[in-house]
Amino acid sequence: PAWGGARRWEAYVANVCVVPGQRRKGVAQVLMAEAEAVARGWGCRWIFLTCEDDNAAARGLYQKCGYDAFPGTELSHSRTQCTRYPNFLPDGRVRRPREADLIVMAKRL
């Protein structure tokens, strides 16, 4: 990608949000398919994301879209499943007074 930094063969989905009234209607699957299409257009071979371990709905969505978790396996950017990250919002505010177990998930494009 022209913005540099990331390796050309890897894309990362930072966030997927659907308005509560539009959930369970396939909107998130369409968003994921579009993200994958953009990544393919960039020449990426893999697309990665992280998901909170206790978010069953998101994990189910990503699995339905073909993503797999990598338990205990180092990925090319040195993350592992269940790495603990503080649960921050993008603007830096803490959403909950806890850390979330994040699972790295990936799909080969």
Amino acid at 6: A
Does residue 62 carry a catalytic annotation? yes
H or E segment and range at residue 30: helix 27-41
Residue 85 belongs to what H/E stretch?
strand 83-88
Residues 6+ apart with CB under 8 A from 73: 80, 81
Residue 71 and residue 101 in contact, taking contact as beta carbons nearer than 8 Å: no
User: Please, are residues 45 and 12 in contact by the beta-carbon 8 Å criterion?
Assistant: no
Q: Catalytic: which of 12, 62, 67, 85?
A: 62
16: its two tokens: 């997927």
Residues marked as catalytic = 62
